Amino acid sequence: MSTKGRGNGSISSSGSGEQGKNKDKNKNKDKDRGESKGSYSSRGDLMVVDATGHIAGRLCSYVAKMLLNDSRVVIVNAEKAFISGRRESVIEEWHRFLEVSSVVHPKHGPFHPRRPDNIIRRMVRGMLPRKRPKGIQAMKRLRVYIGVPEEYVSAEFKVFEDAKIRKPESSYISIYDLARSIGWSP
């Protein structure tokens, strides 16, 4: 005689009560997650971010998160952001990236940005679900400028300390220098 059948039945009946309690706890956790606890901004705010002295990828990740939280974001001084790495290797990598084109005809894409504002915009786009409705709406809330437009001169600029450069500027290449080396003329 085997007792396996009776043992499993008793375990499952006592386990079902505990599972019901766990479901209630999980519901409360889901409610907590729904609240916006982010330190980025409240919904619908206009955030003006100064890219001066920021590492471009880290800056763009903060901006992408703010856009997904329904904030409108304006990035100024896009040309003063930095990309980390040796200057020669970064430029070489971008030149290889520019060689990628359509076999049939280059007008079919991919299209490679060369202006500093478009480079930053493309970096943010890569961090958003750009083909889904929330990503499309997020990209509509983004503006990127070279320099500071007159309407934002008096605005208070947001700075992300985690995204600032920590080494000397010689350890990085600016977006301005990169854009110049890949064919942009100011």
Instruction: Residue 30: count other Cβ atoms within 10 Å of its Cβ.
Output: 9
Task: Tell me which of 130 and 108 has the higher pLDDT.
Answer: 130
The answer to whether residue 24 is domain-embedded is: no
The answer to whether residue 10 is domain-embedded is: no
The answer to whether residue 176 is domain-embedded is: yes
Nearest to 174 by CA among 55, 8, 65: 55
Measure the CA–CA gap between 82 and 127, rounded to whole angstroms: 18
Pick the range with the lowest mean pLDDT from 7-21, 40-54, 69-83, 137-151. Answer: 7-21
**Confidence class of residue 100 from pLDDT cuts 50, 70 and 90?**
confident
The answer to whether residue 40 is domain-embedded is: no
- Residues contacting residue 101 through CB under 8 Å, at least 6 positions apart: 109, 110
Q: Is residue 76 within 8 Å of 48, Cβ to Cβ?
A: yes
The answer to whether residue 16 is domain-embedded is: no
Nearest to 117 by CA among 47, 40, 184: 184
Give yes or no for residue 15 having a pLDDT over 80.
no
Assigned token pair, 95? 């030149």
Q: Identify the pLDDT of residue 106.
A: 78
Residue 112 is part of which domain span?
Answer: 46-181
Q: What's the CA angle centered on 35, arms 30 and 38, to 5 degrees?
A: 120
The answer to whether residue 2 is domain-embedded is: no
CATH number at residue 141: 3.90.1180.10
Q: For residue range 32-75, what is the model confidence (pLDDT) as tens digits? A: 433 333 344 445 689 999 999 999 999 999 999 999 999 999 99
Give yes or no for residue 159 having a pLDDT over 90.
yes
Q: Identify the pLDDT of residue 33.
A: 35
Q: Identify the pLDDT of residue 154.
A: 94
Which one-letter amino acid corresponds to residue 99? E
The answer to whether residue 50 is domain-embedded is: yes
Give yes or no for residue 169 having a pLDDT over 60.
yes
- For the chain, give the number of residues: 186
Measure the CA–CA gap between 12 and 17, rounded to whole angstroms: 9
Which one-letter amino acid corresponds to residue 109? G
Q: Identify the pLDDT of residue 99.
A: 87
The number of domains in the chain is 1
The answer to whether residue 37 is domain-embedded is: no
Mean pLDDT for the chain overall: 83
